[in-house]
Structure 1
């Protein structure tokens, strides 16, 4: 991997990760650890979409991300989409340890094959595990397991879904974003305040283009600023 630093903004350091292998397949392992010092502000993104390619066996590719946020710091974790190809085997784990007054905006978009290329995910094994702790207390846990013909599975939602995302915003004033986001997210997407200071949105669309049309305004509202330039290229 490489880590790139575009020109600094007035509000936060921006870091962009690049997977120089071009994608992941069975047996690959990718690990990332991110930490902020007290009062720091960091925006972390990726240069392009991550790709989980077909695996020849049952051993999955593994991605592990560990995040530590010190007091008064802020992280906007904004990787671009993960594209799952047919016969992909991928296991991801994300853990966050944050101080009580830290702020976090986190999004993970997933595309189930590229519609414009006629791709579909008829045989996929995908595991996604998230744990977020604030002052050592678990405040959000998420487990996703997709097996088999995932394209057919999500098509049964009624949206003909080929892409989805989870967006989590942890901040003392998270509640103020609830009503505005609900007004802009069409069904079957939705957003809820799970507990004080923890806002979670699920976005479900027919393809990656439609997904971005929902994600970008949501990110800009939650972060009070534009998405990273890599998202706009």
Structure 2
């Protein structure tokens, strides 16, 4: 992790540096984040994470994010899964009472710009959100390159979560209408769930940033201050 920045005074912006050469089969990555009482942390990454083709071994990633009476924003760049990659990735967000959270995960399947679809390999992508020890969202996605799956030809997918949300915040995000991306927004157990599909990851990132700018003032009572690494 690079040194923290404080462009908002009391909010810590931290940049998590991914492996510069990317991730290959057999690698194991673990990230554990603890956000303490009344703290506010915004975490992002300087670039996309790359999961390269495998020789048969599985790359494993575990990300455990905890907010104990705190505010946590998890805003990483996308993950790119190369053809022939074999990956098991688990992201688990654990919130206590009074915690607030906005976060997303974006996956690019294959290399659309190079006309290289994810037609070989296997991905198991798990996303979980818990509050006070109870599950609010358990998401399991398994993608196998040699079987059909119903994304209507889209090669990038994303999920944005916000908690605690209301019907008003859902309606506000539904008014975000970015180009070249399909969005669906629902409210489940006070969790705003926004799903996105697009031909590439960039439109989803733009859509999620616009949704974040809409959510942050109402949910976190702060104006949106983008991490300066996004501008480099």
- Residues matched between the structures, number: 223
Q: Give per-residue Cα distances to partners, 1:36-56, cap 9 Å, x unaligned.
A: 111000000111100010001
In the alignment, does 2:74 pair up with 1:82? Answer: no
Contact 1:74–1:102 under 8 Å retained in 2: yes
Mean CA deviation greater in 18-27 or 28-37: 18-27
Which of 116, 119, 133 is the equivalent residue of 2:130? 133
Q: Give per-residue Cα distances to partners, 1:106-155, cap 9 Å, x unaligned.
A: 100111123222322111211111222211111111111101247x745x
Q: How high is the TM-score relative to the length of structure 2?
A: 0.89
Contact 2:22–2:49 under 8 Å retained in 1: yes
Contact 1:189–1:203 under 8 Å retained in 2: yes
Unaligned runs of 5+ in 2: 218-223
The aligned counterpart of 1:68 is 66
CA shift, 1:214, in A, is 1.2
In the alignment, does 2:27 pair up with 1:34? Answer: no
In the alignment, does 2:106 pair up with 1:112? Answer: no
CA distance in 1 between partners of 2:146 and 2:14 (Å): 35
Q: Give per-residue Cα distances to partners, 1:43-97, cap 9 Å, x unaligned.
A: 001111000100011x2100001112111x1000011000011001110112222
CA distance in 1 between partners of 2:32 and 2:205 (Å): 26
Contact 2:25–2:87 under 8 Å retained in 1: yes
Which of 83, 88, 92 is the equivalent residue of 2:89? 92
Contact 1:219–1:227 under 8 Å retained in 2: no
Unaligned runs of 5+ in 1: none
CA RMSD of aligned residues (A): 1.9
In the alignment, does 2:199 pair up with 1:206? Answer: yes
Q: How high is the TM-score relative to the length of structure 1?
A: 0.88
After superposition, where does 1:110-189 map in structure 2 within 5 Å?
Answer: 110-149=107-146, 153-154=149-150, 157=152, 160-171=153-164, 173-185=165-177, 188-189=182-183
